[in-house]
Structure 1
Amino acid sequence: MKGLLLRLSAVDADAEAAVRVIAYFDELVARQGRPADLVRAAAALAECVAGFERDGAAPLRFSSDGERAGAAVAEPTSVELGEPPGRVWLERPGTPGPLDDLVLERFAIAARVLASAERVTPAPHLADPALVELLLGEQAAAEDRARALVLLGLDATRPVRVIAVGSEDGGDPGAAAVGLLARGGPLPRLHVAVIGGVAAVVSQPRADTVIESLRAALDDRARERSSAGPIRVGVGDAVPGLEVRRSWVQAKLAERFAVAGVEPVVVHGDLGSLTLLAEIPVARLRDSGDVRALDALAARPTGAADVATLEAFCRTGSLRQAALALHRHHSSVATRLAHVEEALGWRLDEPGDRFRARLALLARRLARRG
């Protein structure tokens, strides 16, 4: 895991250190390293002996210099992984470090992801992306799709759901998808491939709680102010295995409607007649006068924040609720909305203009992600 070394003693502020810890383990998950790599990295981060033990496997213990640890140096502080069975721990002599709890929590999440991935497929990655692309491809014959389902370990008799994850900062959407799903606890059987700049996640959980888990994970991510970049998530319908491409098309469409930080998860089944907007050619959407006006507003020095405020207001329908969603004082939100009204000539207290603003924002999203 060369290039990932970080020591908490080298980071001054606790808040900054907490963010670095989260980002550190997110990167370990994204790289899909071996369990030994994970333990070495955790030990180097915490600057004490770290350990990882799984059911039926010999414990892994490494000291902060990356060497195998000898006799125990302190009573371990551990966290159980749940499913698959196992635990991780730190052996720190003396007083626990101020971020030991956070290090252990993120260490456990990363270990759980790696252990779950190994149970899905013996390969070091969550799936063979070529098989996922075949499964979701437009031209695949029914027999090829059925073969891909079997090779991916999916049950053709049970519903399959596809999730689309897009990144707004140029980051790897596949890594973002895995890091996000890992926050929900033990990973279900899932497979990831990046197709056309969007991560496709094919999932077949026993209990379909994926939508609630995604929203909870994004809420956790926002509360932690994770250094990971902003992401958008679209969720397709649960469909029979051989119809999985339909769920992928729905997930991609829903992802086009999502707004990172404001409405980051959009479920295709909740869009209803709004999906008709996606049938309008992108060039026509871009040429709309209201879309061009929003683009001009966004290009101003404070325009991006003004448009984000308008998004929040249209989504929540309330000044105070928009302020809560944006973590801003309501007077600040009111000032920005006044800027929007002045720039665009709309009266946002009028139902007709609010509808026009909502429609223009949706058209702009679809135009930008055509």
Structure 2
Amino acid sequence: MRADSARSASHLADIDRAGAVAQAVETDHARAAADANGTHRPAAAHDAPGTARTGAAPDTMTTDRVRAAHNKVDVGHARGASSVVDAVILERAAGVLRLVLDRTRGRAPADDPALVETLLDGTAPEAARLHAARRLGLDPALPARALAPLNERPRAVPAGAETDAVVPAGAEAGAGVRLGVGPAVPVLELPRSWAEAHIALRFTAEGTPQDPGPRVVYAEELGGIALLADLVVPGAEPPPDVRALETAAASTPWLPATLHAVASTASLRAAAAEINVHHSTLQDRLAHAEHLLGWPVRTPQGRLRLQLALAMRHLARP
């Protein structure tokens, strides 16, 4: 019983020491920040007399305090047999120190929501957005892109690194991903990239037979067709051609994939190969589709109308 009590007391003392070290780390970095900003700090009641306030780097002061506290913990543990509990306590104390150091030394997760929100907010001060960019690991001198993933938080990545977000490690290309990618812009113009990425997301599709189309859309590839996003309101009454598409697709399961192949390939033979049917079979399908839709899809004008209808179908989704 006495041994267990002594060990518990030792554990509590270790936790106290870890908390003291965390507090010392935060205090040192707060003082260093104040000195760096040129702010005069009056003498604090808890400062030891004769303690040097300048001339010592904050990381040096922090390292000395952490080393001293760590030595105390080692001495306390040398007095009794080590146990699993000892290891757990030290691990948790180290976690506390890491959190404090991350906060006081300016490091942040690559997708910190608050920083990303500031970076993409066009009304935020430029200094705040530049600070957020640096905290997120973005170089203000290099272009970056905003990403708008479906049902996830927005992101900002260096231009050229968006492919890592499009295809996560170990996943098939585009598997389960719907993503709008904004144009590459200077860091301070990322709010515009984010707005265009959000529009690009509306043009994406699930990539299934009933919702064919690209899962990932780059804003700069839309061109003038992006203007349709201002005309079609999500969840509102869709345009007549979209209603015709939905009515036809409800009774003809093969229709969406077939029409998408015709609209997105260079020729009818290429469209037939895309959906793995014979050329004559495709001709029969298109004749039936034209009857359901009420307009030809094999003429240049009819094909353009089909392309616009398929794009508006995506934009009309709630």
Give the TM-score category using the shorter length.
0.5 to 0.7
Q: 1:215 to 1:135 in 2, by over 3 A?
A: closer
> 1:358 is matched by which residue type in structure 2?
Q
CA distance in 1, matches of 2:123, 2:146: 18
Partner Cα separation in structure 2 for residue 312 and residue 329 of structure 1: 13
User: How far did residue 160 of structure 1 move?
Assistant: 0.9
Match of 1:131 among 89, 106, 115: 115
> Quick one: structure 1 residues 333 and 209, their matched pair in 2 at CA, closer, same or farther if it must change by over 3 Å?
farther
Match of 1:162 among 132, 141, 146: 146
* Shift of residue 122, structure 1, vs aligned partner: 7.4
Aligned to 1:326: 275
Q: Which amino acid aligns with 1:293?
A: A
What whole-Å deviation, never above 9, does each CA across 1:32-56 have from its counterpart, x for those lacking one? xxxxxxxxxxxxxxxxxxxxxxxxx
Displacement after TM superposition at 1:281 (Å): 4.5
Distance 1:122 1:299, change over 3 A: farther
Distance 1:214 1:148, change over 3 A: closer
* Among 271, 279, 282, the residue aligned to 2:222: 271
Offset from partner CA, 1:298-329 (integer Å, 9 cap, x none):
333x34x3112212211114223223333555
2:83 alignment counterpart: none
TM-score of the two chains, using structure 2 as the length reference: 0.55
Paired residue secondary structure (1:292) = helix
- CA pair 289-203 structure 1, distance change in 2 beyond 3 A: same
Q: Is the 8 A contact 1:285 1:364 kept in 2?
A: no
Query: 2:263·2:307 contact (CA, 8 Å) conserved in 1?
Result: yes
Seen in structure 2, the aligned counterparts of structure 1 residues 216 and 281 have a Cα distance that, compared at 3 Å, is closer
Alignment of 1:1-370 (within 5 A): 126-166=110-150, 194-195=152-153, 200-204=154-158, 208=160, 210=162, 221=172, 228-229=175-176, 231-261=177-207, 262-282=213-233, 286-300=237-251, 302-303=252-253, 305-368=254-317
Distance 1:299 1:250, change over 3 A: same
Distance 1:308 1:282, change over 3 A: same
More strand by share: 1
Number of the residue aligned with 2:88: none
Distance in 1 of aligned mates of 2:275 and 2:167: 17
Is the CA contact (8 Å cut-off) linking 1:161 and 1:238 kept in structure 2?
yes
Once residues 313 and 131 of structure 1 are traced to their aligned partners in structure 2, the CA distance between those partners, rounded to angstroms, is 44
> With structure 1 as the length reference, what TM-score do the two structures score?
0.48
Change (3 A) 1:330 1:234: farther
Specify every segment of 5 or more residues in structure 1 that has no aligned partner in the other structure, as ranges: 1-120, 167-172, 174-193
Shift of 1:273: 1.3
Deviation at 1:126, TM superposition (A): 4.5
Q: Percent identity?
A: 42
Pair 326,129 (structure 1): closer, same or farther in 2 beyond 3 Å: farther
Larger Rg: 2
DSSP-derived class of the 1:282 partner: coil
Query: CA-to-partner distance for each residue in 1:96-132, whole Å, 9 max, x for gaps?
Result: xxxxxxxxxxxxxxxxxxxxxxxxx977x64212221
- Kept in 1, the 8 Å contact 2:200–2:218? The answer is yes
**Structure 2: runs of 5 or more not aligned:** 1-105, 208-212
Higher relative helix content? 2
- Deviation for aligned residue 1:346: 1.9
Q: For residues 132-153 of structure 1, what are the alpha-carbon distances to aligned partners after superposition, in whole Å with 9 as ceiling and x for unaligned?
A: 1222235433232222112212
Letter in 1 for 2:221: D
Distance 1:217 1:327 in 2: 29
What amino acid is the match of 1:322?
A
The aligned counterpart of 2:35 is none
Distance 1:160 1:325 in 2: 34
Q: 3-state DSSP class of the match of 1:355?
A: helix
Whole-Å separation in 2 of the counterparts to 1:240 and 1:161:
9
Tell me the number of residue pairs that the alignment of Structure 1 and Structure 2 aligns.
207
CA distance in 1, matches of 2:233, 2:168: 32
Distance 2:165 2:300 in 1: 32
Distance 1:122 1:247 in 2: 25
Measured after TM superposition, the shift of residue 335 of structure 1 is 4.2
Paired with 1:287 and 1:265, the residues of 2 have a C-alpha distance of 23
Distance of aligned partners of 1:144 and 1:277 in 2 relative to their CA distance in 1, 3 Å threshold: same
The Cα of 1:216 is off from its aligned counterpart by: 8.4
**Matched-pair contact (CA < 8 Å) for 2:204–2:216:** yes
